[in-house]
Amino acid sequence: MTENVQIKERKSRRFNLSQSMILILLIVLLSIIATVVNPNFIRFTNLINILQQIAVLGIVASGVGMLLVSGEIDISVGSQVSLMGVILAMTIQKMLGLPEGNVAQWRQTLAIPFAVFITFAVGFVLGLINGITVIKSKAHSFIITLGFMLAYKGVALLTTGGASYMLFGTFETLGRGRVLHFIPIPVLFLIGIILVTHIILKYFRYGRFLYAVGDNRKAAYVSGINTNRITVTAYIVVGLLDALAALILISRVGSALATTGDPYALDALAAVIVGGVSILGGKGNALSIFLGVVLIGLIGNALIIMNVNPYVRDVVIGLIIIIAVSIGQFSTQK
């Protein structure tokens, strides 16, 4: 009996290790191929470049990853980023007017802080709405957030009327600035958020409860955990991280369309699932989220640098998701 237990244990250990190991190997392999094809790939500036490219994705994915650990899903994150981007740019434009016009001093001083505050406030509210609807409706969160994905997108389109809000260089530092002319600010945020995610999942009571609720919601409830509060909080965290992502994204792009954030919904899901966060909840950590994001970013960058048709990216990412999930399924059935 004990022998049997040990064998099983060894098996599960080996797999957990290999889940992250496979990703690291894949990342190294891809880097080698890309370097062989085009040595520019491995240059420091390109590597920094990759990190800058995945910063927004990584921030969105951290929220989605923690939510997935708790057994819920949010596919409205892309629309959330789009909507908040539009609101952010609109607020700045309304406060500062067009570049040639004169505006009062207080407006110049308050425009950016006010717009940032509004963005986070909207992020909080969107997360709250998502979370409360999910727990009250008792429907699957995929369906609820599918509905919100369309609704938020619609609101963003209504707000812009299809046009874009330009920022005329008034809000550039966050997305384009570099610390010491060297490390892009978004990269610092990415690293910071990944670290915070790690700390929450590993050292916070809240993080432990995310795993508990994700593994077995009923058992968590019987054990005295307020499961609904955990779920709603996780959605609020997603909303706040989407707000941060919107700030960085819009700052970098310099304008906001009603669709600017849309691709992040599926990319973020793809990243965390490839990384090894279980869609059934209860499994995954900050490292898996980070590696998934890096892999997705790397595929995009490597393909461009190797001069492959960039549209191949989605095909490759799609296939990798299918393979990763199949391996995961296979291993859990054992």
Partner 1 sequence: MELVLQAIDINKTYPGVKALDSFDFELIKGEVQALVGQNGAGKSTFIEIIAGSLRPDSGKIIIEGKEFEYLEPFQSIELGIQTVHQETQLVNELSVAENIYLFDIPVNRWGLVDYQLCKERASSLLEELGIDIDPDLKVEKLTFIEKKLVSIAKAFSRKAEILILDEPTASLDEKGKEILFDVIRRGTKRGLSVIYISHNLGEIFEISSRVTVLKDGKKVGTHETSKISMNTIVSEMIGKKATTIYVRDKHGKWIDEQNKLEVVDYSQAGVVENVTFSVSRGEIFGLGGLVGSGRTELARMIFGLDEKDSGRLIYCGKDITPKSPYDAIQKGIGYLTEDRKEDGLLLERPILENVSLVRLAKSNRFFLNLLQEKIETKEMSDKIQIKTPSIENIVLTLSGGNQQKVILAKWLFAGAEILIFDEPTVGIDVGAKGEIYRMIEQLASEGKVIIMISSDNPELITMCDRVGIMRNGKLVTILENENINEENILRYSMGVIEEEVQK
Interface residues with partner 1 (CB under 8 A) are 1-2, 5-6, 8-9, 12, 202-206, 208-209, 211-212, 215-216, 218-226, 282-283
Q: Looking at beta carbons only, is 214 or 275 nearer to partner 1?
A: 214
C-alpha to C-alpha distance for 117 and 248, rounded to whole angstroms: 14
Q: Looking at beta carbons only, is 125 or 222 nearer to partner 1?
A: 222
Minimum distance, C-beta of residue 15 to partner 1, in the bound complex (Å): 11
Of 290, 318, 303, whose CA–CA distance to 23 is shortest? 290
What one-character DSSP code corresponds to residue 121?
H
Q: Looking at beta carbons only, is 168 or 206 nearer to partner 1?
A: 206
Q: What angle do CA 123, 129, 130 make, to 5 degrees?
A: 90
Minimum distance, C-beta of residue 132 to partner 1, in the bound complex (Å): 19
Q: Looking at beta carbons only, is 211 or 290 nearer to partner 1?
A: 211
Q: Name residue 315's beta-bridge partners.
A: none
Question: What count of Cα atoms within 13 Å lies in the side-chain half-sphere of residue 195?
Answer: 6
Q: Looking at beta carbons only, is 4 or 45 nearer to partner 1?
A: 4
Of 85, 101, 264, whose CA–CA distance to 165 is shortest? 85
C-alpha to C-alpha distance for 299 and 259, rounded to whole angstroms: 23
| Contact criterion met (CB below 8 Å) for 73 and 213 | no
Question: What count of Cα atoms within 13 Å lies in the side-chain half-sphere of residue 210?
Answer: 31
Q: Looking at beta carbons only, is 26 or 220 nearer to partner 1?
A: 220
Q: Looking at beta carbons only, is 1 or 180 nearer to partner 1?
A: 1
Minimum distance, C-beta of residue 226 to partner 1, in the bound complex (Å): 6
Identify the H or E element spanning 256.
strand 255-256
- Phi then psi for residue 72, to 5 deg, are -115, 170
Helix (H, G, I), strand (E, B) or coil at 226: coil
Tokens of 308: 């492959």
Minimum distance, C-beta of residue 213 to partner 1, in the bound complex (Å): 9
Helix (H, G, I), strand (E, B) or coil at 167: coil
Minimum distance, C-beta of residue 331 to partner 1, in the bound complex (Å): 12
